Structure formats: structure tokens, C-alpha cells
Structure 1
Amino acid sequence: MSSLLYRWGGVAYRGKWWLVGVWALAIAAIVSVIVVNPPQLSNEIRIDGTPAQQVIDDLATQLPEASGGQGILAFHTTDGERIDEGQNLTALLDAVGRVYDADHVIDARTVMADALAKGPASPLSAASAAVAQAQAAQGQPGTAGPTPLTVNGLPVPGVLVSSDGQTALFQFAFDAQTFELPQGTVDATISAARTAFADEQVEVLPSATMLQIPELIGVGEVVGVLIAGLVLVVTLGSLVAAGLPLISALSGVAVGVGGAFAFSSIVPMHSLTAVLGLMLGLAVGIDYTLFIVNRQRRLILDDRMTAPEAAARAVGTAGSAVFFAGSTVIIALLALMVVQIHLLTTMAITAAATVFIAVAAALTLLPALLGFVGERVCSASARRRASTASVRGSSHRVAKLWSRTLVRHRFVAAVGALVIAGVLAAPALDMDLGLPSGASYHPDTPQRQSFDVTAAAFGEGYNGPLVVVATSDDGQAIDPHQIAALSTDLAGLDGVTAVSLAGLNDAGTTAVLSVVPDSAPTAAATADLVTRLRDLAPTYADAHHVEVGVTGFAALAIDVSQRLGAVLPVYLAVVIGLSLVVLLLVFRSIIVPIKATVGFALSVAATFGATTAVFQWGWLQPLLGMDATAPVLSLLPIIITGVLYGLAMDYEVFLVSSMKEAHAHGRRGTESVVQGFSVASRVVVAAAVIMVSVFAGFIFNAEPMISQVGFALAFGILVDAFLVRMTLVPAVMAIFGDAAWWLPRWLDRLLPDLDIEGDKLTARLATP
């Protein structure tokens, strides 16, 4: 491998013009496609095969108007006046009309008018009357609670008014799931409602169930890249050398993420997919090119090689490590496909493709760029400093001091690292999984403001009503009195605030009931209510001759968490198995793969613990500019496990391969640990700081899902690089000494020699 890459490095260095031209053409082609077909991203989370999703899919054929995306708008007066009187009422009716007239919004006024035209004998009218009678008999709705908005004795479809009259809640439906709507539909709908209140002191606040596409590149992300650039300047010693990794990484991101955007008009793509690709593309793209540029500069400064020869050798040696490090990331990401969830499969393929392109950029575009820079990759001052440091023997002084301290106190360091990781991981025992609701957003966002206003005026449950679907068990129209009886049973359950008939198909065979819980969408009490409703489904079937299904935000969140929780052990087994096999091939050792995998497990556990403490418990949120507690994103554990494994193995490969190189060159016992650590630690630290900076930039994204992923990756890299790889790994390697490289002879004969350290290449080049 190293010999092949060495030859390729020379070709790429000399053929700089045509290689850069190929990359420029690829970027131009992708930009052209995106201009013609703008990206189609969504924030919809669809998990096929779950009960909640199955109910939605069944509704798509039985009652399409109840199966599309749900919209909720809160109208709240800021001057204390009533929303249902005077000019406010006029503006409210105008807003409702504008929304119902908007494209892709189902006009409930037409549905009501059709029911009135058909008279009391229509299935919807009969069912509505029966439910109203049952509620009246029970004393519902209460006089102190919200009431439907009525004008001239007729209700305004979908609108409730709070008991104090200052807030109105407008619920409506789109004709398709949110991710299937044309781009800009949701924004246009909200804008239409706000236009009606332009001259009134009324806030128009969209709910979090109308999730917006997040800002992919914001201030935080830009700051993260700038910090990464500063680290590159400090590490590589010049603006010219520091600019190369940035150019290569940004080119890789342009092709990788841009390619994903180009395909998003064909394959439905979640916005988190694009963000994850952007995160990884920037982070690994900068890191991988840093490793190669740093190796080239060391060969020039320390071994007095020419720039062309140093570039070829850097691609042959550090490039081999980049290739296998990137391979571990790609393998870990593609392993997400075993979960068999479309969302994760799309995410895995996109992220893996982006990492593959980042590796390709490091091995093709970077040596071409080095060809343009030539000898200027090392400034004259850097050459003078290198000569002085060599004479004085002061190179790697800090790294040698730290590694010798770890070697001397190896058992204390190992135990200390384990204890710290255990403490950080402890909060994970209380980790709750779920999906973000309005409460997950920052108080300054419309989603959070809508959540708070709705909770204060109506109750927390109105932010995420449950949807109960009753379908006839014999294909005949459901008796209206059975619908009313089911409504009464549901209203009598503990934890239920209100029940209303939300829809009935023309044949009268499928009824949709809206069940408002007492608690918030992400509360444990709401999850318990969903479970209780599903447990009672057989009872309702016997009593009312209907099949009952439950969906809605809380139900979907429960199903997603259970589905992902069930497959996580399988995924972990696959990742750990691949980890052991890949590292066995790379390092030809039994101890090293086991130690690396245990260290990875510690990093993941500590990451889950810290994420739980910050986002679920609210610890240290003011320091991060946050003020919103929420469950840990259901997708987070499995995404972070895959991504963090691949990135952690990057540092393992670069750090331990340096120790192996020192051992292969005659260093024995702990000296190979000290020597290898001293050579590789500086660039690994720089790479870790770069990754943390890039990922941390996403913590300040307004979208809670992206914020959690950014924090988890940044913290995970921080722990893995500095606690595990920089502390635990040298300590454990020192404990085992030469035994760390032991491999049974029979296995040694079976395994291929990948030579990622480039020993065979060095020997071949040294032969006259």
C-alpha cells in the first residue's frame, strides 16, 4: 500500500494541473445541478415499521386529509385584549382564511360545509352530534377550559380560544407529509397568517411540529472553521501550509455535501443528513490533509528532503494511515445500514460518501496543491528553527515530558483515566430518549415561544395532541353512538384533558379522535398514556367493534426510541467486531485492538453521560448559551456510536502506528511508547482541537437535533483524544511493554502485511 501511494503521490505532484482541473470540473458540475434542482431537505422523522407510522400510512388511504403534516399556529395578544373581539377577531378570521387558502393546506371549511349541506344524516354530522351529546352528559367541555371559536353561531374549523380570551390556537393539516411538500410551503403558510396581523398587537407563533430547515452555515460554524485555521497556522508554521488543508477539505465538502444536495430532489433527505455530512467532511478533511502536510514538512525539515520527494513519501506513509483511518470511519458509518431504517441508511451512505471524498481529496487534490506550492511549504524561518531545534535536541520536549510521566506512573494514569471516564458516564444511567419538541428550543425562537404560550393558555398537552384512529372491524360504517362511547372512554382516562372528533371518512368506516393529554409531549406521563391506550385497544375493539391505533408526536417518539433501542446492541456488536478485525489487520497485535475498543467504549459512555447532563438535566447550559432541557435525541446514541468510533480509530491509528514504527526500528519496552508518542502526539492534538472546533460550532445551531449532535461529537472527540488516546493509551501500552505487539505465529502467517508505517517503502528506497 505504501509503495503504491508513494508512486501515486509523485504522479499527483507532477500532474498538478490536470488533477486540480478534474476537481474544479466536478465542483462546477455539482453546482450546476443544484442551481437547476434546488436541494429538497426536510426535518420529518419517518421510521417505517413502527405502530405510529403504520397508523399514518393507513390514514393516507382511508382519510387522506388526516394523514398529512400537522400545523399549529398560536395567536397571542400582547396588550391584554381579547383575541376574539373587535379588530383582533377580524384579523384572526383573515389569518385563518389566508392559511386555508394557501397551497397544500386542507380547507376544513369545505369539509364542514359539505357536512352541513348533507344535513344531520351525514356520517360526520351524526358522529359529531353524538360526541357532543356524550360530552354534554359528562359536563364537557368545562366552562373554565378552552372553547371553539364561533362566529354567527357556527364554529370556525380548527380554532380554539383560551379561557382568558387572549390566545387562539389554530390547528390545520397539509395534504402531504411535511417532507413531501414543495420547498417554501411551510414558510409561505406562516407568512400568510402573519400578514393578517400586520397592524395588530398580536404575536403569530408557529409550533415546533412545523419544523424549519436549519441554517447549515451560521456564525458558530464559521467561527469553528476559523479556529481550525488558526490551529493549522500554529501547527504548520505558515499561512501557505495552513491554507492547503482548508482548500482540500472545503473542496471535498463541496463535492460530498454538494453531491448529497444534488440527489436530495430524487431521494428524500433529512436536514440532519446534510449537517452530519458537513460536520464530518470539514473535520476529517482538515485532519487527514494535516497529517500528510505535517509529514511532508517533517521530512523536509528533519531529513532534508526536497519538496517533491517529501510529498511522495508523505502520501506513501501518512497517506497509508489516512487511507485506513478513513476506512474505519466509512465502515462504521455503513454499518448503520444493518439497522434497516431508511433515515439512518440515507444518513450513513451520505456521510460515508463524504468521508470517502475527503480521503480522496487528501490523496489526490492535496499532493497536486503541494506541487503548486513547491518548496514554499516550509518557510526559511521554519528551516532555521528546525535546524536550531535539532542541534539543541529540544524537539518534542513537552510530548516527551508528558509521555515519560505517564510511563513512570502508568498504573495511576490508567486507573485515573478509567475513573474520570466512569464519572462522566454516570448520568447516562438516567438518559431518556425522545424527539425534540417546542420546549427543546431556545427561549428566543418562535417554536419555544409558541410552546410556552400554548402551555400557559391551554395546557402543555395541546402542544402535542395524540391521534386515536378507530377503524370499523367489519368494513361497515361505525355507529355514531359507538364513536361517542369511545370518546367517553378516552375522556375518562387519567391523564386526558380533552377529546374531540377530528375527522370521519365519507364511508363512515374510519374516525379520527384528537386526545389531548395533561402533560407535555416529551413527558414520561404522556408516554405512559400512549402505552395505556395501546394496551386498552383490544378492550375497545370488543366494546365498540373498532380497531384502535395511536399516533401523534408522543407516540412516534416512543416508537422511534424503542426501535432504535432494540437495534443498538446489534449495531454495537457489528461495530466492535469490525473494530477488532480492522485493528488486528492494521497493527498485527492482540492487545492493541482490545485496548482500542475498550477505550472507544469509554469515550462513548462518557459522551452519553455528558450529553444527558447538559441537555436533559440542564447542567452548564448558560455557559453554552442554552436554556432548554429536553430528552436526548433518539437517533443520537446510534449516530454518535458510529461516527465517534470511526473518528476515535483515526487517532488510534496515527498514534499507535507511530509507536509501532518506533518498535519496528529497534525501540524496546517503554521507549517505543515514549518515542512514538513524542513524534505523533503534537499533530494528533492539533487534529483533535480542529475537530472539536468544527463540531462545537454546531452547538449553537437553533435546531435542537443539530445542537445535540454537535455537542456530543465535540465532547466525544475531546474525551477520546485527551483522556483516552493521550493518557490511557500510553499508560496501557507501557504496562504491557513489548507484549503489546505479541501475535501468535500461525495468525501472523495468515494476516496480510499492510505496512501502514511504510517500513517496506523506506527499505526499498534505501536500497541502491
Structure 2
Amino acid sequence: MALWLYKLGRFSARRVWLVIASWVVIIGVVGGAAALFMGPTSNDFQLPGTQTQQMADKLKAELPEASGGTGTVVFTSSNGEAFTPAQEKAITAALKSVTTVPSVKGVIDPFLTTAQKADGAAQIADGEKQLAAGEAELAAQAPTLEAAANELASGKAQLDAAQAQIDAQKAQIAALPAGSPQAEAATAQIAAGQAQLDAQKAQWQGGQDQYTTGKAAFDAGQATLTEKKAELAVAQRTSDAAAKVLFVSENNKAAIGQIQFSESMNAVTPANRQLVQDKLNTLDSSGVSVAFSKEIVEDVSEVFGVAEVVGVAVAAAVLLIMLGTFVAAGLPLLMAIVGVGVGVGGTMALTTVVDMSSISPMLALMLGLAVGIDYSLFIVNRHRQQLLNGMEMRESIAKATGTSGNAVTFAGLTVVIALAALTVTGIPFLAVMGLAAAATVAISVLVALTLTPAMLSLMGTRVLSRKAWAKNAIATTKHNAELAGLNDAEKASADEAVDIARSTRGWGGLVTKHPVISLVTAVVALVIIAIPATGLRLALPDGGSEPVDSSAYQAYSITGENFGTGMNGPIIVVGSLPAGLDKNQANTLNLDVADKLREIDNVTAAVPVMMSEDLRTSVYQIIPTEGPASESTVQVIHDLREASSSLESDLKVSIGLTGQTAANVDVSEKLGAALPPYLAIVVGLSLLLLILVFRSILVPLLATVGFLLSLVAAFGGVVAVYQWGWLGGIFDVANPGAVLSFLPIILIGVLFGLAMDYQVFIASGMREAFAHGQDAKQAVRTGFKHAAPVVTAAAIIMISVFSGFIFSHLTMVRPLGFALAFGVLIDAFVVRMTIVPAAMYLLGKSAWWLPAWLEKILPDVDVEGAKLATLTDIPDNARELDEPLESAAVR
């Protein structure tokens, strides 16, 4: 590998303009593709296959009016007083104007909604009065009907008795001789009696008909009253259920409006979001202050912000101090910009065909800048040292690429492995994020190995300042005078003695003089720093995580103060109702379900809000007691899901959860479950790579244990600042809460890769000294002395770049920037520059032990460039090609 990279570096140094032109073409193609095909990014962290996504899909198919994004607008009076009638009318008019914005499906006006609730309550009260009056009227009619029924029954009995008497008389007459005077007289008398009885029967039937009509009217009235009573009961239960869901505060000083979009919030363009804000911001003239929720004001289209620029500026200052010339300091920055331009540009070009979260290009940018500067710096620094030692220009470039470039290649490979392994988590947005960052790091490695040698050749001797050249000339003259009269072997021995003497000084010398104390102190310190990590809680960011002066934070805090923090994170429950219900039955069942849901701990309100036309799908809104990222709300999510089985058995209704609050819990839990296998894969693959690089068992194990210490300490720092609020004023953490849910898995991948970077550069120097014949313990000091300055500078640069993201315009990037900056600080200065040299000094020669059978099968990748140490022959034609450029560079 070292020899191949040597040839690549030499080719790049000889074919300067070909290499530069190639990269210019690549940049042009990628930039054009990004300009033509760049689409919007989002903060959609839905996970396919989760219940949240299944319920969202169900709503989209069966109740489309309930799908789409929702944003909240919070109104307050500018003077802190209650709203005036004029202000209420102005808010209503402004909200109505928002419906003209593309993508806006409708609005919920807080004052109209409150008025409708009041009208509904009044109608219920009026209905109850009418019901009471009707019941009283029916109650008054009931005795009359009962008396009439009794009288009719008594009359019917008398008529029946009279008819029976007449029928008996007829039987008696039938026994008399036919035609006899007695029979004729009796027959006439019976006929007269029957006629009189029939008249009475007809009179009775009229009364019966009148009673039947009255009874029917009474029964109809009774049925109507029963129906109205049921309707009023449902209306009253509905009103009671919605009583705690307020849109205007009780003191009339704050109001919540909602904007309903026809598409998901991630699909709403920044232009339409801004148009919504513009239409509502006109309320300033009415003395109304407007604060928008995070969903409305969040604009993830901007990748680079002011804070990031400051971080890069600090890195540039470090480079200038280290390299001493603007030309040399600018080269690593230029290389990083080229790598980031190609990597992030390519990432953005794919946003039209790949769903990509906003943090994907941000992570690629963050890492591309950091590793791009560092990788180029390692090669530039090696080249400068070789030039000062008198090596020919292009030979120095080639050997720097073959040695430091070799370390860069394997260091970059560990980062790429760690990032690409995010695909095994089964989480789509993480896979895209990891691949985008891995591709950018890989491009940064290619830039360092090709464009950096070409630019070094073009720069010539200007890579060192005149002061550095002059100082080196004086030192060389003095050195030659001191070694005058000695042969080459004696000179090499004298130089090595001086080098060994110098290696006993400084931090490396101090650590190796007291290795046990250094090792124990460093480990104990990291364990103490890691203690807060035991309380790590994960969630996705909400409005409470935004900067205090932001509109999103104001909306979040005002809502919490006036309506309860639970209003910031409602939970959507989707119910599947049994078939065969009429509307009243479905409404009653929905209220029964809401009653059951309201019984769950830390649920403030549970309200049925919508039902499909076929009465089979219903939507309920749950308002938890606390905010969306709180522990109690997470528990509410679990309790609601556990309640599904009891609802199924008791009410024949199955439920599922959706909405952002439930989705956040799903994402956090799936990310937590993905951590152990991901860590095992990353560490396992990288251990194999490090065994290949260092040809040792203990050095890779030491590197991995050191990484784990760095990791838990970084977690401890993140929890202390972002969850506990320590130093919150410094890091702009106004509302401490749960840690970003995908921070741990990204931190593991990125920090492991970067930690192995420093391990490769520190340990390869030690390996190089050991391979060249030094005692194992002395090799630790020598390697540390040579690598420490550049690793220190590289770490400071990386910390500076990451620190710039601590104050990023994207809030979710901030804890990630802090975690990476703090993790690199600990890993570089405590683990790699304290624990590793102390442990390796104690291990001595055993640090480089490798089983004989493994030694035979491992290929020799020659990361320290031992094969290049004796490489001195340069083809004549190559020397001829070198001369013109070198002359031009010197001029």
C-alpha cells in the first residue's frame, strides 16, 4: 500500500494540471447536478413498519381529511393585557387570509372555536330546559291518560256484561213457541235493548279512539324526549371531554390557532411556510404578538451558518500558527472545501430521489471539514519535515503520500466503515445519513491523496516560510559543524541519541516516566466524567430545545404557561370501530373509548375529534400532562398501547397511535435497540482492520478500550449540559431535556472513526520507530514525540470545526457538535496522548506481539512506510520532468 501510494503521490506531483483539471471537472459536474436536482430536506424521522407509520397510512387511506401536517400559532397581546374585541377580530381575519396560502387546507380559529363551544354549552343548557319542560308536560298528561284508560276499561266491562245479559235473554226467547205473543214482545224488548247497547258501544269506541290518539301522541312525545335526552347526554359528554382542551386561555391573554396543511410538514416548502408567517405577522399593527411553532418556522434548507464559519476560522488560525505561512495554512482548508463541496454537493443532488433528513448534509459537512483539514495536514506536515531535512521536492511529496498518506487511507477507512455500518441498523434516515457522511469522508481521502500532492508540487518551496527556511539553514549549519569529522554511521548514531534525549522531555516524556500514575489518573478522571451518562434519556427535539429568543421557543413556553405543556405534544389515537353501528351508537362508543383513555395516568384530556363516513375509523386527541419529551409522556405512550387489548375485549374497538409525539418515542426506542449490534459490528470490523494495520493484538484492543472510555465520558458531558443543564448559559441550553435520540449511534460511529484516526497516527509513529530497530519502550517516546505536534494541531482543528456546530442554526445539530468536540478533546488528549503511551510503555515489546500463525496469513500493508525508507532510486526521466516546476516554484 505504501509503495502504491508513493507512486500515486509522485504521479500527482508530476501531472499537476491534469489532477487539478480533473477535480475542477468533478466539482463542476457535482455543482451542476446539485443546482439542477437539489430538493428539500426534512426532519421526518418516521420509521417504516412501526405502528405510528401504519396508523398514519391508515388515516391517509380511510380519513384523508385527518392527514397532513399541522402547525401551531400562539397569539398574545403586545401589552400583556387581555385581548380586545378589535384584536380578536383582527386575529380571525388574519387566520382567514392564511387559507389562501398554497398547501394550507384550513385553520382553527381560537375565538370562533371557543365561541362555538360556548354556543354548544348554551344549546345543551337550553335543550335540558326544553327536555325538562317536555317531561313535565308529559308527566301532567300521564294521569289523565291513565284515568281515561281506566274509565274505558270499566266501560268496556259494563258493555260486555250488558251484551252477555242480552245474549242470555235471546237464548231464553229461543225456548218460547215461535209466533207467540210472549216471544214477539220479548223479541221487541231485546231489540230495543240491543240498539241502546250498540249506541253505548259506539260511544265507548269514540272514547277509545280518542284515547288511542292521545296515547300515541304521548308515546311519540316520550320517544322524542328519550331521543333528545340521549342526544343531550352525548353532547354533554362531548362537552365535558373537550372542557380541558382550551384554545383561548382563561384570562383571555393568550390564544392558540392551528394551521392545517394538505401535505406533510416536511413537504411544505420554505416559501409557503414564510408566506404563512408574513400573513400573520401583519397583526403587529393591531398590538398582537405572534409566535410560530417549530413546524412552521423550521427551515432546514440552509446548510451552512455563521457559527460554522467561526469554527472554520478558528481552524484556519490554528493552521496559520502551526504552518507559519498563509499559503501552507490555506492548503488544508482548500482541500477540505473541495472534499466537502463534492461530498455535500453530491448529497444534495440526490435529495430529489432520496428522502433525506436535514442533518444528513450537516453531518457530511461537519465531518468533511474536520477530516479534510486533518488528512491534508498530515501529508503537508510530513512533506515540510522532509524538505527541511534536505529531501528533493517531488521525492518528498511522493514519500509523504506513501507514509502519512498510508496512515490517512487506513484512518479514513475506519471512519468510512463506522459510518457505512449505520445501514445495518435498519433505520432508513440513519442509513442515508451514514452513507452520505461516509462518501464525503472517502472523497476527502481521495482529495488528500491526489489533489494535495499536486498542489504541494505547484507551491514548491513556498509551503515553508522564509523564516522557517532561514531557521533551518542555521540549524543545519550548526548540526553539520557539530558532527564534522564523523562518518555516516556515527552521525546517525549521534542524531538518534539527540532524538532520544529530546523524546524524554515534554508531555510524552512525563507520561512515560510515570506511566502507572498517568494511566490510573486518566482512567479515573474519565470514569468520573462519565457518571452523568447513567441518567441518559433519549428523545427527538421539540420547541423547548430551540434558542430562547426564537419564535418556536416562545410558542412552546407561552403554550406551556397558559395551557399546560401537554398541549405542545398531543398524541393521536386512531380507533377501528365495529361494523353495523348507527351514528348515535358510534358517537356513544367513541365517548366510551375516550373515557377509558382518560383513565390512564398523566392524561389531561381525551377527545374524539373526527370519524369517517362509514363510521369505522375514529380519531381521538390525547393531551398528556407534560411535554412531548418528558418521561411521563413517554410512559403515557406505552400505557395507551397496553390499553389496546382491554379496549378490544371490552368495547370491541382496536386502537393505534400516530402523530409526532408517538413517532418520536418509536424512533428513540428503535435507535436504542440498534445500538448494541451496531457497536459490535463497528468495533469488530475496525479491530480486524487495526490488527492488519499494526500487526498486533494488544494495540487494537487498547485502542478500542480507550475509545469506549472516550465514548462514555462524551455521553457524560452531553447529559450534564443538555439534559441536566450544567453550563446551560454558555451553551445556550435554556430548557434542558432528553438528549437527541440518534446522537448516541452517530457519536459511536463518528467518534470511533476519529479515535482510530489519532490511534493510527500516534501508534504508527511508535510502530515505525520500533520497526527501525528502537527498543519498544523508547519507540513509544520517539513515536509520540514525532506524532504529538501534528496530532495536537489536528485535534484542535477538529475540535474547532465541531465546536462551530454547537451554536448551529439547526438546533438538533448542536448537541451532536458538542458531543463530537468534547469526545475528540477527551480522546485525543486524554486517551491517545496519555492513556495509550502510558499503557504501551508498560506493555513494552509485548504490545507488538502477534501469534505466529496470524503473522503468516496477514498481508503486510506497511502503514509506517518501512519499504520506502530505502527507496532512493528515481528514474532519470522523472528527474527531468521535475526540474521546470521546481524552478518555477522557487522563483
* Corresponding residue number in structure 2 for 1:64: 64
In the TM superposition, what are the counterparts of 1:557-636 in structure 2 within 5 Å? Answer: 557-636=664-743
The yes-or-no answer on 1:181 pairing with 2:281 is no
Counterparts of 1:458 and 1:731, CA distance in 2: 58
Q: Is the 8 A contact 1:50 1:559 kept in 2?
A: yes
The aligned counterpart of 1:194 is 281
Residue of structure 2 aligned with 1:695, choices 786, 797, 802: 802
Q: 1:435 aligns with which of 526, 540, 548?
A: 540
Once the two structures are TM-superposed, the CA of residue 40 in structure 1 deviates from its matched residue by 1.3
Paired with 2:62 and 2:373, the residues of 1 have a C-alpha distance of 52
Cα gap change, 1:38/1:191 in structure 2, threshold over 3 Å: closer, same or farther?
farther
> For the residues of structure 1 that align with 2:94 and 2:66, how far apart are their CA atoms?
21
User: Alignment partner of 1:352: what SS?
Assistant: helix
**Paired AA for residue 327 in structure 1:** L
SS in 1 for 2:774: coil
Task: Label 1:34 to 1:139 Cα distance change in 2 as closer, same or farther (>3 A).
Answer: closer
Instruction: Quote how far apart the aligned CAs of 1:137 are.
Output: 4.7
Q: Can you list the C-alpha shifts for 1:22-62, whole angstroms capped at 9, x where unaligned?
A: 21222222222333334411122222222222222221212
- Identity, % of aligned positions: 41
Correspondence 1:332 to 2:418:
yes
| SS of 2:28 mapped into structure 1 | helix
1:716 paired with 2:823, answer yes
Q: Structure 1 residue 288 and structure 2 residue 375: aligned?
A: yes
**Cross-structure match for 1:91:** 90
Q: 1:617 to 1:389 in 2, by over 3 A?
A: farther
Most deviating of 216-225 and 705-714: 216-225
The residue that corresponds to 1:301 in the other structure is 388
Kept in 1, the 8 Å contact 2:630–2:737? The answer is no
**Which amino acid in 2 is paired with 1:140?**
D
Note the alpha carbon deviations across 1:487-541, whole angstroms, 9 max, x for none. 2222343322223332222222111111111111111111121111111111112
* TM superposition shift of 1:754: 0.1
1:142 Cα shift? 8.4
The 3 A distance-change label for structure 1 pair 480 and 130 is: farther
How many Å separate the matches in 1 of 2:744 and 2:580? 43
| Paired residue secondary structure (1:25) | helix
Asked if the contact 1:66/1:173 (under 8 Å) is kept, the reply is no
Instruction: Say which SS state the counterpart of residue 499 (structure 1) adopts.
Output: strand
2:350 aligned to which of 263, 266, 275: 263
Deviations 1:141-181 (A, max 9, x none): 687x564xxxxxxxxxxxx2111112111123322222233
- Give ranges in structure 2 of 5+ residues lacking alignment: 121-228, 480-494, 876-891
1:50 aligns with 2:150: no
TM-score under structure 1 normalisation?
Answer: 0.92
What does residue range 379-390 of structure 1 map to in structure 2 within 5 Å? Answer: 379-389=465-475
The 5 Å alignment of 1:674-689 reads 674-689=781-796
1:246 corresponding residue in structure 2: 333
Q: Which amino acid in the other structure matches residue 53 of structure 1?
A: Q
> What SS class does the counterpart of residue 199 from structure 1 fall into?
helix
Give the partner amino acid of 1:227: V
User: Structure 1's 767 and 442: CA in aligned 2 closer, same or farther, altered over 3 A?
Assistant: closer
TM-score by length of 2: 0.79
Deviation (angstroms), 1:132: 8.1
Between structure 1 and structure 2, the one with the greater Rg is 2
Counterpart of 2:517 in structure 1 is 412
Contact 1:130 1:484 in 2 (8 A): no
Alignment partners' CA distance in 1, 2:73 and 2:681: 44
Q: State the match for 1:522 in structure 2.
A: 629
Aligned counterparts of 1:146 and 1:164: Cα–Cα separation in 2:
15
Partners of 2:504 and 2:818 lie apart in 1 by 28
Q: Deviations over 1:322-345 (max 9, x none)?
A: 111100000000111110110001
After superposition, the Cα gap between the structure-2 partners of 1:534 and 1:142, relative to the gap in structure 1 and judged at 3 Å, is: closer
The whole-number CA distance in structure 2 between the counterparts of 1:238 and 1:399 is 30
Give the C-alpha shift of residue 766 in structure 1: 6.7
Match of 2:364 in 1: 277
Q: Which residue of 2 aligns with 1:657?
A: 764
Query: Partners of 1:161 and 1:629 in 2: how far apart?
Result: 28
Tell me what 2:202 maps to: none
Q: 1:18 — aligned with what?
A: 18
Contact kept, 8 Å, 2:108 with 2:258, in 1: the verdict is: no
26-35 or 661-670, which deviates more: 26-35
Higher percent of residues as helix? 2
Give the C-alpha shift of residue 130 in structure 1.
8.3
Does 2:573 match 1:468?
A: yes
> Contact 1:400 / 1:675 at 8 angstroms: preserved in 2?
no
The 8 Å contact of residues 306 and 375 in structure 1, kept in 2 or not, is answered as: no
Distance 2:260 2:658 in 1: 15
The letter of the residue matching 2:417 is I
2:593 match:
486
**Segment of structure 1 superposing worse, 485-494 or 753-762:** 485-494
Letter in 2 for 1:36: L
Name structure 1 gaps, 5 residues minimum: 121-128, 148-159
1:98: Cα distance to partner?
2.3
Task: Call closer, same or farther: CA 1:554–1:677 in 2, change over 3 Å.
Answer: same
State how far apart, in whole Å, the 2-side matches of 1:318 and 1:598 are: 25
CA contact (8 A) 1:70 1:173 kept: yes
Which of the numbers 642, 649, 653 marks the counterpart of 2:749? 642
The amino acid of 1:521's aligned partner reads P
The 2-side partners of 1:402 and 1:726 are apart by 8
Look up the match of 1:154: none
- Determine the C-alpha separation between the residues in 1 that align with 2:682 and 2:46: 24
The question of whether the paired residues in 2 share the 8 Å contact of 1:213 and 1:271 is answered with no
Shift of the 250–532 alpha-carbon distance from structure 1 to 2, 3 Å rule, reads same
Q: Does 1:322 align with 2:322?
A: no
Offset of residue 703 of structure 1: 2.8
* One-letter amino acid matched to 1:418: V
C-alpha deviation, 1:135, in angstroms: 6.8
Q: What is the alpha-carbon distance in structure 1 between the residues aligned to residue 78 and residue 280 of structure 2?
A: 17
The answer as to whether partners of 2:630 and 2:738 remain within 8 angstroms in 1 is no
Distance, in Å, in 2 between the alignment partners of 1:132 and 1:643 is 61
Q: Which deviates further from its counterpart, 585-594 or 538-547?
A: 538-547
- Mapped to 2, the partners of 1:767 and 1:369 lie a distance apart of 21
Give yes or no for contact 1:238–1:379 (8 Å, CA) kept in 2.
yes
In structure 2, C-alpha distance between the alignment counterparts of 1:81 and 1:751, rounded to whole Å: 77
Alpha carbons 2:503, 2:781 under 8 Å: kept:
no
Look up the SS of the partner of 1:501 in the other structure: strand
SS of 2:104 mapped into structure 1: coil
Is residue 572–residue 621 contact of structure 2 (8 Å, CA) maintained in 1? yes
Residues 241-288 of structure 1: CA deviation (Å, up to 9, x unaligned): 111111111011111101111111221111111110000000000000
Q: How many residues align?
A: 738
- Superposition RMSD in Å: 2.5
Q: 2:270·2:299 contact (CA, 8 Å) conserved in 1?
A: no
Whether 1:222 aligns to 2:222 is: no
Q: For residues 532 and 418 of structure 1, what CA distance do their matches in structure 2 show?
A: 41
Decide whether the 8 Å contact of 2:56 with 2:658 is kept in 1.
yes
Instruction: Please tell me the residue identity of whatever aligns with 1:46.
Output: Q
Q: Does structure 1 retain, via aligned residues, the 8 Å contact 2:573–2:658? A: yes
- Are the aligned partners of 2:503 and 2:782 in contact in 1 as well (CA < 8 Å)? no
Q: Are residues 669 and 492 of structure 1, via their aligned partners in 2, closer, same or farther at CA, if it must alter by over 3 Å?
A: closer
SS of the residue corresponding to residue 497 of structure 1 reads: strand
Partners in 2 of 1:192 and 1:44 — Cα distance? 26
Task: Give 1:104's aligned residue.
Answer: 103
Q: Is the 8 A contact 1:590 1:741 kept in 2?
A: yes
Counterpart of 1:533? Answer: 640
Q: Are the aligned partners of 1:50 and 1:560 in contact in 2 as well (CA < 8 Å)?
A: no
AA aligned opposite 1:77: S
Deviation of the 1:765 alpha carbon: 3.1
The 8 Å contact of residues 37 and 350 in structure 2, kept in 1 or not, is answered as: no
